[in-house]
Amino acid sequence: MRGSLFIIAGLALAGCSQEPDPAEKAAEDKKIVEMVRAANDAPPPIEEVIPQAILYPDIEKEDLFGASCAYAPGTSMGARVIAREADAYMKIDDEMVRFAVDPGARQLANRTGSLYNGRQYSLRLQIEGDGSPDPNASESTLYQGTIWLRDRWDRNVYTGSGTVSCGV
């Protein structure tokens, strides 16, 4: 009887100090790794962007002269986007941000593109209708258009619709 008591006590102690099954440990580790990956891959909260008007000193500094389309949202006269054949610019937080035309973009008025890509954002542009001559500029055509600015997670951070002036 004494011998069986020692055997039972020995088995009980052995059961308490056993390492977990390797398959169970691997499954637990995999679950933890997936939770960490999911937390790291989650995008940060959306930060709304409010582009500033591109002023003449900005145009001079970036040499934005020549054929282009200027997008001004709402009834504003201040352009928020100047799009050209190869690139486009926006002014965000007092900095002129350059976008390169996407090679697969549709061509819009004045040989501008419908999609431009930057380091932090992508810019989609749309022009509607045939346009009408600009009464204030002999070589310009006025359209209605829309701007969509998206962050690197492809989330919309700005949308603006209004007048688009395309000319030289």
pLDDT means per 10 residues in the chain (168 residues)? 49 57 88 86 88 96 95 90 98 97 95 96 95 83 96 95 94
Size (the chain), residues: 168
Q: How far apart are CA 88 and CA 106, in angstroms?
A: 14
Q: Does some domain include residue 118?
A: yes
Q: Give the pTM.
A: 0.75
Q: How far apart are CA 139 and CA 68, in angstroms?
A: 11
Residue 132 one-letter amino acid: S
Count of the separate structural domains present in the chain: 2
Q: Does some domain include residue 50?
A: no
Q: How far apart are CA 140 and CA 134, in angstroms?
A: 5
Q: How far apart are CA 53 and CA 59, in angstroms?
A: 11
Q: What pLDDT is attached to residue 18?
A: 64
Query: Which residues touch 45 (CB under 8 Å, ≥6 apart)?
Result: none
Domain identity same for 140 and 95: yes
Domain span holding position 32: 2-41
